[in-house]
Structure 1
Amino acid sequence: MTRHIPVRHIAPMRRQRGLSLVELMVSMTLGLLLITALATLYFNTSRARNAFSNSAEQIENGRYALDIMSREVELAGFFGPANVAAGALVSAPDLCATDPASLGFSASPATVPLAVQGFAPGAVAPCLPNLLAGSEILAVRRVSTTPVSAAVVGTPYLQASYCADDMASLVFDASAPAFKLRTKACDSTVPSELRAAVVRIFYLAGCDLCTGAGDGKPTLKMAELFNGGFRVQSVANGIEDMHLSYGVDLDGNGAPDCYVGDPGADHSADCTGAPAYDWSVPLTNWRNVTAVRVQLLARTAVVTSGWTDQRTYDLGRAQASGPFRDGYKRHVYAELARVANIAGSRESQ
């Protein structure tokens, strides 16, 4: 008897299939579209981030420049004890004077320099390197708010007298033996404190880093009297225009009655609030400046793609600036700074 062995039927294995050409092309196209979308998103995000960074830098530079200039104007005219400036004559030193004898101080008669003094574009200023041809200039003069007891060689100091028996109310010199004025105790062994002379000049330069051909960035710079000369440092770059208006106190109460671009000129036809005021003495007009309106035009460091500047900018001049029609974004920053050491003494009278 023959035995039949059952045959197990094995299901045939499913054959593996690859992508067809059409499927491959579709998947590649979708991948390319996705990559293009991501690249476009990255590019737009990067451009927006750069534009935001440029604008933020412009805002920071504009506000910082205003802050620095306003602080200096507020400190202008500080000459130690209030009675020194109150009873003294005023002088207008040369803009780039460095010699102690030429800085505007004198003991007989007691004389101090102008607290603030402006210069129109075109002023001769060898101490201001890279000065832009159209830049206005602001000089601020005072003495240090931090007194010292011993003089440093080469640094000019103001020493004021607190002793009624002293023959002079002030001494201004760069030599230690010259400082003999005394304190209220009138003790010859205890001389009065010394305060270093401070002269700071603000102007616009055509570059921030000016080595070689320069970087071409308009910059607000400050020249500071130091060790017998002027040292220059950048305050903020991107500041391409500056206009200053000076508030003149016509009636002696400390408050500015009229704002003019040049107090040295005759403004009797424009400033009619005090008709009896005499505009014929420029030095007196500058002495009566009790406020300074600072207006700055700041631009971004680099151009913004797709941006065309069609606007005009009012800095307080008779004619607005612009339009520039370039790719730089701009903004006007303005602040009114009070010359507190001049105005304050008048208000208390």
Structure 2
Amino acid sequence: MNRQRIVTRHRQGGMSLIELMVGMTLGLLLLTALGSLYFSTTRSRSEFSNSAEQVENGRYVVDTVGREIELAGFFGVSSVASGATVASPALCATSPGALGFVNSPATVPLGLQGYAPGTVAPCLPNLAPASEILVIRRVSTTPAAAATAGQSYMQVSFCANDATSFVFGASAPAFTMRTKACDPAVTAELRPAVVRIFYLATCDVCSGAGDGVPTLKMAELSGGAFQVNSVAQGIQDMHLSYGVDLDNNGSADCYVSDPGVNNSAICTTVPAYDWTTALANWQNVTSVRINVLARTQRTSLGWTDSRTYDLGRATASGPFNDGFKRHVYARVARLANVAGRRE
């Protein structure tokens, strides 16, 4: 009996210390491999998300700004703008009388106008010192059911008996333009005025010291004041080249950074063109080349950006020598409401 118990106890013996240490070592190696795989997967996913955000923001910006450029100069479904005088309102104008609309003689504002870096713009908070500014002026593509207090509207006449071709303002009793039937009980459609200003800001969330994220922002005139919203984060630079139609056929003959100055040395296709009137030059812009430099939201481990980027300026941007990845996005947008009438 005793012998049998001793044999049984030997058979039930546990692992030896050496076996336990070998097992622990193999387990630690396995955990290290799994941890390394998890870290690598997490890092790859983070880099993919980082790059995807940059691609999405860059493409979104050129599409958004491009669509606004295409709508620039839309002043209703009639041809009021074709025979009207053109005005250049102040950049931060907000009152109805300062927005460039005059019904007699018929005057409308420039549909599109750009401003060089360094322009003083109190309506554009946190404006980056090197930012170009783009202003789009038009009326809404959707008529309003009724006038709202504080909002400016344009109403175009379709009746030959109306004294003026349109009225513009914020006073509801002034909107008496009629439709083609000239029925005094039926007034023409009412369209809200649209002023949108695109610019680069030094931050997205700008409270306190700001987050330091370069952001494309849009200031939109609403209710008699500019409301500023972020369009896309990580937009570090934007350059606009303006296509000027020198022979009045609707197509751009040359692209310049500033149509407001004499560009005869650059634009030689139509030597007889007169560059002396800045307002006329802006009026002849029929397309815009949009170049945007977008960067990632977060730095990439082990990456140093030593590249330069061509945005259409005389000198390239960069190198930045930091850990952010960057890419240039570009598009040409046509001012349909200007070029279309000329064609």
Q: TM-score, normalised by structure 1?
A: 0.94
2:243 aligned with 1:252, yes or no? no
Q: Would the aligned equivalents of 2:135 and 2:196 in 1 still touch at CA under 8 Å?
A: yes
* CA apart distance, 1:22: 2.6
Aligned length: 340
Question: Is 1:304 the equivalent of 2:300?
Answer: yes
| 1:180 aligned to which of 176, 179, 182 | 176
One of 4, 7, 20 as aligned partner of 1:13: 7
2:263 aligned with 1:267: yes
**Quick one: distance in 1 between partners of 2:145 and 2:100?**
23
Structure 1 segment 120-269 matched on structure 2, within 5 A: 120-269=116-265
Residue equivalent to 1:321: 317
CA distance in 1, matches of 2:262, 2:140: 33
Letter of the structure 2 residue corresponding to residue 236 of structure 1 = A
- How far residue 150 of structure 1 moved from its aligned partner, in angstroms, is 2.5
Q: How does 1:77-156 map to 2 (within 5 A)?
A: 77-156=73-152
Once residues 127 and 143 of structure 1 are traced to their aligned partners in structure 2, the CA distance between those partners, rounded to angstroms, is 20
Distance apart, 1:11 and its partner CA:
9.9
Q: Is the 8 A contact 2:78 2:156 kept in 1?
A: no
What letter matches 2:39 in structure 1? F
Name the aligned partner's letter for residue 288 of structure 1: N
Percent of residue pairs bearing the same amino acid type = 67
**Structure 1 letter corresponding to 2:319:** P
CA distance in 2, matches of 1:83, 1:341: 10
Residues 1:334 and 2:341 are matched in the alignment: no
Letter in 2 for 1:234: S
Residues 165-199 of structure 1 show CA distances to partners (whole Å, capped at 9, x for unaligned) of 11211111111121222111112222211111100
Alignment map for 1:27-66 (pairs within 5 Å): 27-66=23-62
Could you say which structure has the larger radius of gyration?
1
Deviations 1:201-237 (CA, angstroms, capped at 9, x unpaired): 0001111111111111111000000001000000000
TM-score normalized by structure 2? 0.96
Sort the Cα spacing of 1:10 and 1:37 in 2 relative to 1 into closer, same or farther, 3 A.
closer
Deviation of residue 10 (structure 1)?
A: 6.6
Task: Using the TM superposition, give the Cα deviation of residue 20 of structure 1 relative to its aligned residue in structure 2, in angstroms.
Answer: 2.9
Number of the residue aligned with 1:71: 67
SS at match of 1:64: helix
**Who is 1:6 aligned against?**
none
Amino acid at match of 2:148: V
Q: Using the alignment, how far apart are the partners of 1:143 and 1:31 within structure 2?
A: 70
Q: 1:17, CA displacement in angstroms?
A: 3.3
Say which SS state the counterpart of residue 79 (structure 2) adopts.
helix
Alignment partner of 1:190: what SS? coil
Query: Partner amino acid for 2:271?
Result: P
| Deviation string, structure 1 residues 215-264 (Cα, Å, up to 9, x no partner) | 11111000000001000000000101110010111111111110000000
How far 1:297 moved relative to its partner?
0.7
Structure 2 segments unaligned to the other structure (5+ residues):
none
Residue deviations 1:116-156 (CA, integer Å, cap 9, x gap): 10000011100001110110000000001111243212111
- Decide which moves more: 9-18 or 209-218: 9-18
Question: Any idea what SS the aligned residue of 2:213 has?
Answer: coil
Task: Output the amino acid matched with 2:162.
Answer: D
Give the distance between the partners of 1:329 and 1:223, measured in 2 at CA. 28
Secondary structure at 2:107's aligned position in 1?
strand
Structure-2 separation of matches of 1:215 and 1:50: 20
Provide Cα deviations, 1:80-108, integer angstroms capped at 9, x if missing partner: 13420101010110000001000001111
The 3-state SS of whatever aligns with 1:141 is: strand
